[in-house]
Amino acid sequence: MTGTDRPPGPAAPGMRATDRPAASAPPTALLRAADEVAGLAPDLGWSEASGLVEGLLDGLAHVLADAATDRDQPRPQPLVVGAIGGTDRTPDHASCRATAGRLRVLAVELARHPAPWAGEASGVMTDLGDLLDQVADRTRRGALTRADKGVVLRRLHGLHRRLREVLPTHPGQDVR
């Protein structure tokens, strides 16, 4: 056997993306994941929740792209506020289920990245998938009540808060 054995771990300063540990997701996989997350469109049935989910998915797509380019920290992003108004309708359980499944699979790719912020962002992806599954389950049993909607909105705001904590602050702007 030739060469040296070294344990996988976080990338040392000056390492190139091609020098990543074997357990880390390749940049192309992370870029594909960013593109896929940006294209997901679960319909939660009311505009505020759907707007918050779209903003969260957009933020996660940017974090995946930042991980693919081996940034030390993710780029700042604008604060997202969900749309208000619109007529409530029944959530599309199929789009919620499909999005939840893809988020869980793609979260594994991000979790393999050595940056410390990637793990928390991966957790946000997994928790969003869990929430979307719960919305789909509840929808299959009947219409969501106002109480259900309140819980979903609080959890979405919590996920936004967790993602903002991962992002660096940007002086002079209300962004993270």
Q: What is the DSSP string of 140-160?
A: HHSPPPHHHHHHHHHHHHHHH
Q: What is the pTM of this model?
A: 0.78
User: Do residues 62 and 165 lie in contact, with contact meaning Cβ atoms separated by under 8 Å?
Assistant: no
Averaged pLDDT for residues 35-47? 87
Check pLDDT > 90 for residue 130.
Answer: yes
Averaged pLDDT for residues 85-94? 80
From residue 8, alpha-carbon distances to 39, 74, 120 in Å are 32, 22, 20
pLDDT at 139: 82
Averaged pLDDT for residues 72-97? 76
Q: Which candidate, 10, 17, 156, 40, places its Cα nearest to that of 106? A: 40
Beta bridge partners of residue 175, listed in sequence order: 78
pLDDT at 170: 59
Instruction: Check residues 78 and 116 and name the one with the higher pLDDT.
Output: 116
